[in-house]
Every structure is written in C-alpha cells, then in structure tokens.
Structure 1
Amino acid sequence: MLDSLPLSRKQIRSIADATARINIWHGAIRSGKTFASLIAFLISIAAAPSSGLIIIVGRSLQTIERNVFDPLQDEALFGPIARMVKHTRGASTAIILGRTVHLVGAADSRAEGRLRGMTCCLAYVDEATLIPRGFWNQLLGRLSVPGAKLMATTNPDNPGHWLRKEFINRAGELDLRSWQFTLDDNPALDPKYVASLKSEYTGLWYRRFILGHWVQSEGAIYETFDAQRHVVDTVPPISRWLCDAIDYGTVNPFADLLIGLGVDRSLYVVSEYRHDSRTARKQMTDSEYSQARRRWLQSVPTGGNVLGVSPEWTIVDPSASSFIEQLHRDGVQGVTPADNAVLDGIRGVAGLFAADRLKIHRSCTGLIDELPGYSWDDEAAAKGEDKPIKRDDHSCDALRYGVRTTEVLWRPHIPTLLEVAA
C-alpha cells in the first residue's frame, strides 16, 4: 500500500508517530493529510483491542462516505486492502479489516446522545472543526479502553476555534500529537493542478486552504470582486437556466437573482428582481411576491425578440416556509429550500470570482451595490466564529444560495475550479 503512491516525509512521520491518545492532521486542502490519516487508521484497526467499539464520525453519513469510504475503497490508493473495506451506501455500519465499524453523523449538539452508553477503543473524526464541542467531549469520554485512540482531520478555521485553542495549542499538556500540512506537502499532485488551485483561492481561503494557516477572517469577503472584470453589459447565450435564487424579506428587501450557465462555461447573474419595502413604502404579501416574480421572469430577454425564462429550480431562503408554500400553490415547479451552509456558499462564490467564472449583468444593481461592502463580522471573529455582517446582504445571500444549491449542476461544466476535498 505505501509503495503504490509517493509519500512525503511529513506523511510518513505522521503515520509512524500517531500513537498518542489524540492524533490530529490539519492544514491545507489536498495536502495529503487525509491519505496519511487513513493509513494510520487502518494500522490502528489492525492493532485495536478486541474489546470496545470502533467508530467513524463525520458531519453526516454522506460526508463520511465521500471523505472516508470513497478513498478507502479506491484500489488505486489502497490496493488489495480496498477490497477489505465493506460498506453499503446509507448504512450506519461497515466492515474494515474484519472489524465492525460504526458510523456516526454529528451535525449538531443532539448527536451527542448517539454516543451514550458506548465504550470505544478507536475513533476517526472527519472534518473535526465542524463537530460540536459537546460531542467531541463526549467522544473523548467514551474512549475508555486502555490504549484507546482518537484520530482526526480538519482544514484550518478561525484561530479562536476551540479545537485549536483547547487541544492543538495544548499538545504539550495533553497526550496529543498534531501535524500541520500545506498544499506543497503532497508529492502525488500534478504541478499544473497545484498551480491552478493556488490561483483559484484568495485572501482568507488562500491562507487557510493553501498555506494551512489558522487565520482570522477580516475585511471584505469577496476580495477579488472587481466591477471592471465581473460586471458585464452583455451576456452570452445561456446553455442552461439553472435557477432563480431568493432571499425573502417583508420589512427587509426581497432579492431574487436569475442565474444561468453560459456557453463560455461561466455562470451569469442575468437579471435581478428586488423590492425594498422601506424605499417603496409598501409591504408585499407572499401572493404579491409570487406574482411579481412570475411577471419578472416572463420579461427577461433570451435573445432576439424572445422574452421569458423558466429556470430549472427556484431556490428559496429556507426560513421562508410560507413563501415556499405560496409558490407551490401557484404551481411553480422545482421549488426547493436553499442550501444555507454559509461558509461553503461564500467559498464557492469567492472561487468563481477568483477564476473569472462568475459575471453579473449591469442591470443587477442591488447585487452590484452590496458586493463591495459584504464584510466579515469582527466581533464574531474575536469569538472564534466566521460570520458575515448581517447588513445590506440580501442579494449577496441570494447569490450564495443559488451558487451553492446548484453546484452539482454547474461544476462539471466549469474547468479547474475549487477542489474542496481534503
């Protein structure tokens, strides 16, 4: 297995030295930390005590399958050992090297209850900074078999995050070892791919996901947004009308963006509908918003003298349940709540701007006005949290809703963009 792909000295050292009670691989994306941690995990399974459970923890079963089982079952990576990893999609258990392994999703603090009563000898945690603090504490308490170990991977986060402050930075006080990786620590990557990846991240994301640094969010969120580059007067033919994406407001502005995939393999915000009740001095009902949306989409030019667009999806602020119901009543097809993973959505939009693969038609004045001032919240950052300032962000929210929720549709058509796997 170790001979099938080149390993860096840091990877080899981390595999050999992963003998502490807590072992953490952290740093840049695609830096080889996950591959090294999985090798160490397999070795630990083979040597694990016969008593006690073995568990794998992730944000969800789906992320565990993607980040852990997809590579473990890849024979190009793990050779014949991959055939000794048995897992059925959606199942909460697997067999690895003949041992039963339990899979636990930990999306919120309620997941802590899933650990109650367990006695564990080995745990592997994927994306540890996304795991609730209480769950992590409970997990450590369940690793009570003599010689029990926890192995975890993560990308860097805010330097005030509890994982860094209370564990990584206290390695000298705890039975803990950690290894920090940069993108250049992975000898298996093609140099052209590395160069492309470095060019696609900027600012906060470059420092965290390329250099592997734990740095605080500060300043403008979309540092590479440039009206000269990203605002256009004309839009190429649209090969696929992906969605209209809605940030719902009654007192606050209602913002709806029409997003399409151009024949030039870039995303375009083609048109915007926006109603600000304060400016207009008129609040609108759900029914009135639905009718206004329909009239707006019917007026969008699609080339020549043709008007009217029917996007594949209508993506709505997930908190706007009454408006979602109104759209269903009005017969709108493809209505779905938005994926509101804030940082993932911001990262996707930032990467598109950096790669010059997201353009905005000049008529979308609400979005264009908001983007330069869309900034990180300094008070939240001081508490170890990454959050945008919740002010003048309605079109920006609609943009990340649309980009994030339709990612599976546009990503195959946009080259060399934002590989976010660990």
Structure 2
Amino acid sequence: MLRDVPLPLSPAQIRSIVESQDAPIALWSGAVSSGKTIASLLAFLLRLAVSPDQGLVVIVGRSLNTIERNLLDPLQSVHLFGPLARHVHHTAGSTTATILGRTVHLVGASDARAEGRIRGSTIVLAYVDEATLIPQAFWMMLLSRLRVGNASRLMATTNPDGPFHWLRRDFIQRGGEVGLHHWHFTLDDNPSLDPNVVQRLKAQYTGLWYRRFILGDWCLASGAVYDMFDDTRHVVDILPVMRRWAYAGIDYGTTNAFSAVLIGYGDDDHLYAVSEYRYDSARELRQLTDAEYSRNVRQWLANVPRPHEGQRGVQPDWVFVDPSAASFMNQLWTDRVPGIAPANNSVLDGIRSVGVALSSGLLRVHRSCEGLLGELPGYAWDERAAERGEDKPLKTADHSVDALRYALHSTAHEWRHLMPRPELEVAA
C-alpha cells in the first residue's frame, strides 16, 4: 500500500506508520504541515484493511465540515494518495463514507454532548482529527467503546496545546500505562514541503502559535498575547490613500467601555486601523442607550477624515458587531446602517488572525487610535487559566483589541491574499 503513494515519505513518517499498527492508541503531534496527517491517514488505511468486520469504524473531528476538509478531501486526492484515492467515496454532507469497501461513520464532536452519538456502540477502529479540540468526555467515551478485543485501535493527530492539557497530562505523559504510542513531527519531517511554504508558515505564526505550531512545543500561554507588537514598526502618523473602506469592528459595552475600530485598505497594499470611536461609561459617569451609541457611531463614521482627499465621511463595507449585542444590532438595522453582521467571536483563532497581520507587517495602526494602542501592549494571557489547561486572555482592558479582532477575523478570507505566498503549496 505504501508503494502506491506518489508523495515521498520521510523515515519519521514510515516509522510511525509501521509502529502504529500494534499500538492500542497511536498519536501523531507536532508542527503544522509536518506530514503527520499523511502518515496517520496511511496508518489508518493499513489498519482498516485488516480490521475485523465486527464493530464500527469511525472518523471523529470538530465538525463534519472539518472532517471533509482535513481528511476526506486529502484521502480522495490522487496527487496525495495515488490509486488508493479511488477507494474513498463520500457525498458532501453525508455522515458516512465508504473507504476500502468499509462503511465509515463520520462524527462531529464539538462539545461534551457529542458523546451521546457513540454511546452504546462497539467500535473496532477510530481516527480522531485534532484531538486537543475534542472534549475530554467524548475521548473517554470513545475509549470505552473500543471493545473488539485486541483488534480495536484508536489513531489521532493533534497540534500541541498547553502543557497542562488533559491529553498531554493524562495520556502522553502516561503513555506506557495507557497503551499510547506518540510520534512528534517537525517541518523537517515532511519531504514534500517546498522551502517557500516553510518560509511562509514560519512568517505566519508568532509567539505562542510559533512555539506550538512551528516548533511543536506543548507550551504555556503566558505573557503578552501580541508580543510581536512594536510601536516603531506598527504605528503610523501619516496614512496613505485608502483604496477601500473595508470593515469596522464593534465591541459593545454598557458598564464596560464601548469601542469601534475602522479598517481600511491602503493603496500600498497594507491594512490600516484608521480611526477609533470609544466611550467609557465608567469614566464619563453616564451610560448610553443603544440609540445613543448608534447615533454616535454614525456621527463618527460621517466625520472620519479621508486621507489626501480633503473630505470627511466613510461607509465601511461591513460593520461586525459583538454577537452578544443583539439589541444594539437591531438598533443599527432600525437606523438603516448598511453592512451590519454578527462578528466571528472565535477568540483563539481571532487572536491568531490579528497576530498574523501584525507579525507580517500587513497591519498598521494610526496614532489617533489611542484606546487600541493603549491595550495592544498589555493584552496578556491568563496564566491561572493556562495552569488549568485553558488558553484564555485576561478579561481586562480588552475592548479595542476585541473590536480589532472582530473586524480582522471575520474577514480573514478577504485579506489573507495580501500575505506573501509561494506559487505552489503541497498539502501534507
């Protein structure tokens, strides 16, 4: 079967594939694009080919969409798997696939309630994508369902998380006791990667994400969240002509500060935090109503200077609002403000998007955004949460940085093309 794969395999990949066949629990972890997914999928196919007929075969991921994107799409790629790809059949949206003639059940496990989807099942072979994102209760239930004698196997991949994450604490560090075999991968273990791809990946991740996703460390979320922020590099006094007034992000506050940040595309192909509206009710000793906030936001946008045009007033294409502020969004709709949408409030992924924009030099901040500039350097990880195995920023002085995150992460698919990219990228 390995001879059918057109991509070259590294010694680390081949070793893990062979050794995993006898491991009750096999885990591949390490850097992004390090070849661990290709190795684990090949190991899964080998094991599937010899698994007994009794018991279910399942593939688990955060959602059906991530299973299709991360696993089934690669498995159906002739470029990656050669003739084996012809033996993988799946209809988009279906909760089953046929792989090597076997029915494989696809299970999304986004929260602890997902354990009910496998309760009572007998499973002979399970594959888990991004195991650190799977609820621990689901993982434990999955282990209890592997009950086809010595034939049952669990195979999983993950990027590293914090050092106190339950997967590391209870399984990796106790591998000998629980029957887990673990292989750690780095970018150098993927012989298919173009050097330009390696360079791009290293440029896209900084700080915590660089250590985890590039170096493959299980490291603590500590210190500054945006440790790449540099006043001399990221703060500007003069703005270029704006090619597009793209987005505004709004973090709604009543007792806390209310903040709105406006993002523009400069004609120099950079993103700019151009202007900010901020109201702190604790400082002003007065809370505003939704109608007053709506009026103030509209007045702010109507008076934003247009660099080098001698005019004022902009209308961003999109205004992304804190999704918990439903009443305020209704007020904006009532006032006929165009482009209103709930923001993507995925905190960690959003922090990563902002970090990518800052570390690459793509994002710059005008000096007039005083609230944002005051929060960026001090925005920090909650070390007590990290010791409990959670990655969470401290919920203090975070209103303008949240507004920035709403604007950038909700539109990452629109501006990532401005990042330097190689012409050819090989998946692995």
Which of the numbers 163, 181, 192 marks the counterpart of 2:196?
A: 192
Structure 1 stretches lacking a partner, 5+ long = none
CA-to-aligned-CA distance 1:5-45 (integer Å, 9 cap, x gap): 12111111111111211111001111111111111111122
Letter in 2 for 1:91: S
Deviation of the 1:314 alpha carbon: 1.5
Which of the numbers 205, 209, 212 marks the counterpart of 1:205?
A: 209
SS in 1 for 2:261: strand
The two structures have a TM-score, normalised by structure 2, of 0.94
Deviation of the 1:322 alpha carbon: 1.4
Which of the numbers 306, 314, 318 marks the counterpart of 1:302?
A: 306
Deviation of the 1:148 alpha carbon: 1.1
Residue 351 of structure 1 pairs with residue 356 of structure 2:
yes
Letter in 2 for 1:409: E
CA-to-aligned-CA distance 1:119-142 (integer Å, 9 cap, x gap): 211111111101111011111111
Deviation of the 1:233 alpha carbon: 1.5
The two structures have a TM-score, normalised by structure 1, of 0.95
Comparing 407-416 with 126-135, which one deviates more in the overlay?
407-416
CA-to-aligned-CA distance 1:327-365 (integer Å, 9 cap, x gap): 222223332222221111111211221111111111111
CA-to-aligned-CA distance 1:245-304 (integer Å, 9 cap, x gap): 111100100011111233333221111111101112221111111111111112123341
SS in 2 for 1:372: coil
Written as runs of structure 1 = structure 2, the 5 A alignment for 1:221-300 is 221-300=225-304
| Residue number in structure 1 paired with 2:124 | 121
Counterpart contact for 1:183–1:212, Cα < 8 Å:
no
| Residue number in structure 2 paired with 1:410 | 415
Deviation of the 1:75 alpha carbon: 1.3
| Residue number in structure 2 paired with 1:63 | 66
Residue 110 of structure 1 pairs with residue 77 of structure 2:
no
Comparing 275-284 with 365-374, which one deviates more in the overlay?
275-284
Residue 372 of structure 1 pairs with residue 372 of structure 2:
no
Quick one: distance in 1 between partners of 2:177 and 2:376? Answer: 44
Which of the numbers 320, 341, 344 marks the counterpart of 2:346?
A: 341
Deviation of the 1:171 alpha carbon: 0.8
Residue 49 of structure 1 pairs with residue 52 of structure 2:
yes
Structure 2 stretches lacking a partner, 5+ long = none
Deviation of the 1:110 alpha carbon: 1.4
Which of the numbers 26, 31, 52 marks the counterpart of 1:28?
A: 31
SS in 2 for 1:121: strand
Residue 99 of structure 1 pairs with residue 90 of structure 2:
no
| Residue number in structure 2 paired with 1:73 | 76
Quick one: distance in 2 between partners of 1:90 and 1:302? Answer: 46
Quick one: distance in 2 between partners of 1:58 and 1:391? Answer: 33
Which of the numbers 157, 163, 169 marks the counterpart of 1:165?
A: 169
CA separation of 1:242 and 1:115: change in aligned 2, threshold 3 A: farther
Letter in 2 for 1:8: S
Quick one: distance in 2 between partners of 1:372 and 1:388? Answer: 13
Quick one: distance in 1 between partners of 2:314 and 2:44? Answer: 51
Count of residues paired in the alignment: 420
| Residue number in structure 2 paired with 1:219 | 223
SS in 1 for 2:420: coil
CA separation of 1:239 and 1:102: change in aligned 2, threshold 3 A: farther
CA separation of 1:43 and 1:373: change in aligned 2, threshold 3 A: same
| Residue number in structure 2 paired with 1:363 | 368
Comparing 193-202 with 270-279, which one deviates more in the overlay?
193-202
Letter in 1 for 2:393: P
Identity within the alignment, %: 59
CA separation of 1:242 and 1:46: change in aligned 2, threshold 3 A: farther
Structure 1 stretches of at least 4 aligned residues deviating more than 6 Å after TM superposition: none
Deviation of the 1:175 alpha carbon: 1.5
Comparing 9-18 with 301-310, which one deviates more in the overlay?
301-310
